[in-house]
Amino acid sequence: MLTFALTVLFTLTGLIAVAVVADCLIKAHAAYAQLMREGEVMRAGLALQASAVEMGLRSKVAPRRAVATRRPGTLRQPMLPFGAAA
């Protein structure tokens, strides 16, 4: 009886795992196909229009971001002879 219960448990676990992997593959294939279609549209020079729901979710004011500035010149270490103390 215990052997039968373990066999059924492992069989069901395996079937569920196969079903989950198959579902993920189907969803991944659909997402990949959609990305390829969008890529073709963008390469054709057309821009995709965002939906009204997506536009409503965007913030009205752009967030402020800190921009790193470069120094007006490069600071170089002076060349010292080999073995000299700095």
Show me where the domains of the chain are located.
20-55
Selected residue with higher pLDDT from 61 and 38: 38
Q: To the nearest whole number, what is the mean pLDDT of the chain?
A: 79
pLDDT digits (tens, 9 = 90+) for 9-26: 999 999 999 999 999 999
Confidence band of 41 (pLDDT split at 50, 70, 90): confident
Selected residue with higher pLDDT from 78 and 38: 38
pTM score, two decimals?
0.48
Q: Identify the pLDDT of residue 67.
A: 58
Q: Identify the pLDDT of residue 73.
A: 60
- What number is the average pLDDT over the span 16-38? 95
What does the angle CA 21 – CA 25 – CA 28 come to, to the nearest 5 degrees? 135
